[in-house]
Amino acid sequence: MWCPSCAAEYRPGFTECPDCIVPLVAKRPAASAPTDDHQWYFEYDVSDWSDDDRQTLQFWLVVSQVPVEWADDRLVVPIARAQDVDSIIDAIESGESVPRDTIVDLASDAVHGERATPVGRRADTRELANPARRLVAFLIDAAIVGIVASALFQIVGGPNVAVSATVLVLHIGYVTGTIARWGCTIGMLIVDTRVMRSRVVPPGLRVSAIRAAVAFAAAPLTLVGWVGASIALCWQLIVFAPILGPQRRGIHDRVAHTDVVVSA
């Protein structure tokens, strides 16, 4: 589904663009070129891109206030912004975050002498959640799962492999389901963060499942003793360590193309 005003793409189930407050249409609208006398030089062929990657590209073009014209599967941009578009495309294709210096100050009314964002459009530039917020959310969720595990162990008379496996499945289902449905777990809700892909919150079941599959890839090893538990712990550290970097993305975020942001 597409917004006829801003040309943003939405997953099935959405009926109205929350930015433009207009009903969505089934066909991509033809983008109108700026009224100023631009010279359009650079074309990018994105015919082999997935819908998710195109949505991500569309979002970052709006955020960066790059005037664009779509011609079927080709993107046409003015030569003055070609370098910015190159950075955005390279970042999307490599799975990295878009470089910060590509994003212009949205408080400004003009970029190269004109406003590129349609009137009434609110570009989503949410703050990335810092490692401390994410750690607190993780610990809260771990405590919740621990309480459930303790209750189950009390019921069956102590820890055993079957109950431990059940707790693991419940933990994975809890994280996957809550993020798919609401964009956050209980811990994330408490610290006011959300999982976002492109500008969509919640990201949906497929994306949430991909994140969980990476994050919990080694978790079943915890069922086979301290060696397995040690390997699983090392995997968790490997997955989450990149969050300390400037892009605030763990390996699971990079694979799923998601960001964890502070709620607006």
Each residue's pLDDT tens digit, 83-136: 788 888 878 877 765 554 544 443 333 333 333 333 323 334 568 899 999 999
DSSP for 57-121 reads: HHHHHHHTT---EEETTEEEEEGGGHHHHHHHHHHHHHTPPPPGGGS--TTSS-BTTB--SPTT-
More confident residue, 126 or 187: 187
Distances (CA, A) of 48 to 44, 52, 73, 105: 11, 12, 9, 31
Residue 174 confidence (pLDDT) above 70: yes
Q: Tell me the pLDDT band of 4, cut-offs 50, 70 and 90.
A: low
- Other beta carbons within 10 angstroms of residue 106's beta carbon come to 17
Each residue's pLDDT tens digit, 243-264: 998 888 999 999 998 889 898 6
